Structures are given as structure tokens and as C-alpha cells.
A and B are shown apart, each in its own frame.
Chain A
Amino acid sequence: MATGTRSRGPLLLILPSIIFMAALFLYPLLSGIWQAFSGPDGFTTAWFSRMADDPYFWEATRNTALLIVVLIPLQFGLAILMALLLRQRPRLAGLHFYIWVVPLAISDLAAGLVWLSVFTDRGYLNSVLDHLGLGSYAWLSFEHPGTMFLAVVLAELWRATSLVFVIVVAGLQGVPRDYDEAAEVFGASYWQRVWHVLLPQLRPSLQVALILRTILALEAFAVAQALTGRNFPLLVGETYQWYYTLQNPNVATAIALVVLALSILAAIGYLRLMRRTPEVG
């Protein structure tokens, strides 16, 4: 087994992927950092100050933070509830499961367009309100930032909860039913069992899902673009604006690095938080 050619075999098999990833991940990453800090006269932080001088940047930062803070808890609550419902083996479970996971393969642009048909001025929600005699409301108007935000949250909740749901369902499959049954024998109520037996065992799955979802939520932009144009700016949407409309790749890269820094912070934060909290119970 340990002859020279044999031990080189696996390295030859992974080498193409390593070269490819170095060329398309590592190199652009380094070149991006260089691009964000270099001007005509060498090192500069001018691109970052230009970024910070743009009022849209701070609005986008605030919106992105707000979206994450509101969306993630809702999403995890809903996903866990969905997984618990399915665990009760309802009728037509297969059909429900299919409908619940379809959004997994839907892009945020498509989700934005789907919910546009609901929230637009002459859309389906206002049509229903009109049928009921309640009159209509300009949900996506910039004069109503509250409902604009609500529309973006609903669209993201609709699109991205299935990812958390699937991770939670897969995690639940690894929890032996005996634990649950034992707790039931000793008289624990359903919600006590969920809180003290199921959730602690799901912690590794939830941790991964939290990090993944936060990073993905930081990247959301097309959903808001489709629903509101630039009335609800998000960080990645601003990169797109600077690159595409304002033709300034340096500032675009600077914002991209801010998104990267936030992603890393979120990942580290969750890892520490989940490790430090003492076992529930």
C-alpha cells in the first residue's frame, strides 16, 4: 500500500481542485484586498472614506443589520416548528414536505419577483383587500418604510426558511427516539421534552444553520431590488450599484470587504456563543 506511486495517488486526485481553488478563491481574495487599498499613489484608504461618506452605505448597513436581527429568529422559530409538525407524522406528509422545500431552489431575485406580484400597488394583496371592501395600501412605497421592510422580511422568510428546515429535519433524524420516550415516561410535557431533550441535541445542527444563514442573509440583495428598487438598500446591493451604475470597482471592493468582515465576525461570534452557553437543563 505504501509504495511511492500509491501514496502519491490521492494527492494527484485532489491537486486539480486545489489549483483551481487557489486561482479562483485565494488569488481574487488577495487581489481584492489590494484593490481596495491601492490608489494611483500607492497605499490609500480613500476608497473606504468615499464609501463611508455615502449616506446610502450607512442606510444599507442599518437595513442589513435590521434584516438579520428580525429575520433569523423568525426563521429558526418557523423552521423548528415545521420540523416538529412533520415529526408528528401528519397526513399527506410527503406533499407537505415537497411544498416546504421547493423554495430551497429559488433564487432571491425570483423570490422578490414572486412577492412583487403580492405587494405591488395593483397586486394580489390589494385585490383581496379590495374584494373585502377594505381599500388598498401602497405597501412598497418609500413613504411607508415599515411595510416595505415587512415585504422584504416575508419574501426572505418564504425563500430561505426551507434551508434551516432541512438542516433541522436531518438533525432530528440523528436524535434517538428513546430519549424522548424516556422523558415522556417520567412525565415530561411535550414542550418540556422539546426544550430539554430535543433542542440540546440539535445544537450542532442549529449552530451550523445559524452561521450559514447569517452569511447568506448578509448576501441578500436582489430580493430588495426586485421589491423596492433602491428604496431599501442592502450592503451587497450597494456593491452592485458602485460597480455597475457608478463604475467604481475600488469602492465596490471596499464594501465587499466589509461584508466579508461581518461574515467572519458572525461566524466567530456564533461559535463562541454556542460553545460557552452551559448545557440547557
Chain B
Amino acid sequence: MSRRERIWVQLGCIAVSLFMGVPLYLITLAALSSRESLNEFPLPLLPTSLSGETMSTFLKSTGIVGGLVNSLTIGLSTVVLALLLGLPAGYALARYAFRGKDPYQLGLLLTRALPIVVLSVPLGRIFLDVGLYDSTYAVTLLHTALALPTTVLITSAIFLGVSREQEEAAMIFGASPFAAFARIVVPQALPGIAASAMFTFVLSWNEVLGASILTLNRRTLPAQVLATLADSPLAFRFAGGLALVLPALIFIAVARRYLLNMWGTTLR
């Protein structure tokens, strides 16, 4: 490639990075500006008057801390439940050939084509009937259903990468199948399982429609932000935006190594 083409490639990369990065910078700047400087016009484009005022007002608003706690509770419970149900299934897919394997995998893929909205509204009525409406359990169950197919597919890909021989060797030396699984397979699969857990957590953290429909008072953070959107000042919305974006930055930084496998190939 010629020198000129190299320069064009570099410029192209920088342009895309600016498009992706500048909005992130701006929302951070807006959320970390004082209320006064947000009322100025034109807005300062450099971080000249940083202040935690906007963020702390946001955190003190009604329902925000509660929403944060609900979001964390639901996110973590979803991770645990999805792994409890999904790990064994992922292991079965990776290790055994059995009747019904293909229809099962096809069914998992099909559920991913189902819009969340089709499930949420009927689930609202079902949960009302069984007394789960407006609880963190209701949202946890919905989020687990959304995350389970991905959890099964990701973990089965991870278990395929763990050597079968070592596991069998452990059993020959007297370990029970469960002990062999817990002491040989799990440690090797752990980083991948952690990445899948984070994926589930982010899915739950971001999901807003179902969480809004299934709750009234026990809202998650995004559901709370959405419900009060129309009557809240701009500063509140910017602070809410940053609060919702932050976990994404951390998640991508930690899970970067697994991204291509998780979104790129396994999830296709």
C-alpha cells in the first residue's frame, strides 16, 4: 500500500473514532457540569467548570437509588438464574449427541427472533394473576428468559474448548462426574463463563421495555428514568444518560477479548 493510502486509512479510523467517541465525551461533560453552566448558552465545550452537583442531584431524586438497587438485584439474580439453567444445557450440547439436539438448538435460535414486546404485555397479565406483578422476581424471570438462549449457546461454545480427555482422566482416577466437572472443567471455562455472565448482566441492565411494563413501584433504573423523562429537567436526563452508559464502558473494557467470539460468531 502506498504512503498516501496509509494516510487515508489513518484518517478514516480517526473519523470513525470521533463519531463514536465525541458523543460519549459530551454526555460525560454535560453530566459533570454544574446546573448553572448547563443553563449557559453557548455551552462550554471544554471541561472548565466540572462539578458533581448534577450527578448528586440526580442520585437524590425520588426513585433513583431505589431503581439502582433494583437494577443491581435483578441483574445479579438474572446472572445466577441464567447460569443455573444454562450451564447444564450448554454442557449437554457440547459433550453429548442426543435425540432432539437439533430441534433444541433451533428452538433456542428462534427465541432470539421474538421481540421482547410480544412477551412483556402477556407476561404482565400472567404475573398479575400469580401475584408476582411489580416485583423484582417478575423482571428477573423475564430477563432470564431473554438471556437463557445466549447463555446456553455461549457456554456450549466454551465447553467445546475444554479438553474432554482431562475430564475422563479425572473420572478414571475415581472422581465422580460432578467432581470432575467442578474441579477440571469449571476452572478452565471460568473466564468464558465470567464473560457470559457479564453479557447477561448488561442485557438486564439495559432492558427497559419489559421492566417498565412489569413494574409500577419497583422500577429498575432505566425504567425509572424513562417513566419520569417527560417531566424532568435536562440536567436530570443528562445525568441519567451517563449513569446508564458507565457500565457499558467498563463491560467492554473487561470483555474485549471475548467480544468477537460472543457477538461475532456464537451469537450469529
Contact = CB atoms under 8 A, between A and B. Distances in A.
Interface of A: 7, 9-11, 13-14, 16-18, 20-21, 24-25, 27-29, 31-32, 35, 78, 81-82, 85-86, 88, 90-93, 95-110, 113-118, 120, 122-124, 126-128, 130-131, 158, 162-163, 166-167, 169-171, 173, 204-205, 208-209, 211-212, 215, 218-219, 221-222, 225-226, 229, 236, 239-240, 243-244, 249, 252-253, 255-257, 259-260, 263-264, 267
B244 A249 contact: no
Nearest to B15: A85
Contacts of A32: 118-119, 121-122
Interface residues of B, number: 93
Interface of B: 1, 6, 9-10, 12-13, 16-17, 19-21, 23-24, 26-27, 30, 39, 41-43, 45, 84-86, 88-89, 91-93, 95-96, 98, 100-101, 104, 107, 111-126, 141-142, 144-145, 148-149, 152, 202, 205-209, 212-213, 222, 225-226, 229-230, 234, 237-238, 240-241, 244-245, 247-249, 251-253, 256, 259-261, 263-265, 268
A236 B99 CA distance: 38
Contact of A14 (B9, B92, B126, B237): B92
A169 B118 CA distance: 32
B141 to A, nearest CB: 6
A45 to B, nearest CB: 18
Contact of B42 (A107, A130, A205, A212): A130
Nearest to B245: A110
B89 A13 contact: yes
Contacts of B101: 10
7 contacts: A85-B9, A114-B27, A117-B241, A131-B42, A158-B23, A209-B268, A264-B113
A158 B92 CA distance: 38
A88 B7 CA distance: 11
**When A and B form their complex, which 9 residue pairs have the shortest distance between CB atoms, in order from nearest?**
A170-B264, A113-B241, A107-B206, A127-B42, A105-B248, A32-B122, A24-B145, A110-B244, A13-B92
B141 A260 contact: no
Contact of B12 (A18, A81, A117): A81
Contacts of B12: 81, 85
B26 to A, nearest CB: 5
Contacts of B100: 11
Nearest to B260: A170
A146 B226 CA distance: 24
A208 B264 CA distance: 10
B118 A256 contact: yes
Contact of A257 (B118, B141, B213): B118
B47 to A, nearest CB: 13
A100 B42 contact: no
B96 A9 contact: yes
Contact of B268 (A97, A167, A253): A167
Contacts of A35: 121-122, 125
B226 A109 contact: yes
B237 A113 contact: yes
Contacts of A98: 252-253, 256
A40 B207 CA distance: 33
Given A171-B264, A222-B208, A105 B26 contact: no
Contacts of A240: 209, 212-213
B142 A239 contact: no
Nearest to A95: B17
B111 A105 contact: no
Given A116-B237, A211-B113, A256-B118, 5 more contacts: A10-B92, A11-B92, A101-B252, A104-B259, A219-B115
Nearest to A163: B263
Nearest to B142: A24
B41 A130 contact: yes
Contacts of B122: 28-29, 31-32, 35, 253
B118 A113 contact: no
Given A96-B16, A99-B17, A126-B42, A28 B123 contact: yes
Contacts of A212: 112, 268
A109 B244 CA distance: 8
A260 B105 CA distance: 21
A20 B85 contact: yes
B209 A222 contact: yes
Most chain A CB neighbours (cut-off 10 Å) among B95, B118, B126, B152: B118
Contacts of A21: 107, 111, 145, 148-149
A17 B85 contact: yes
Contacts of B245: 106, 110, 114
A108 B261 CA distance: 23
Given A113-B238, A126-B42, A219-B117, A85 B222 contact: no
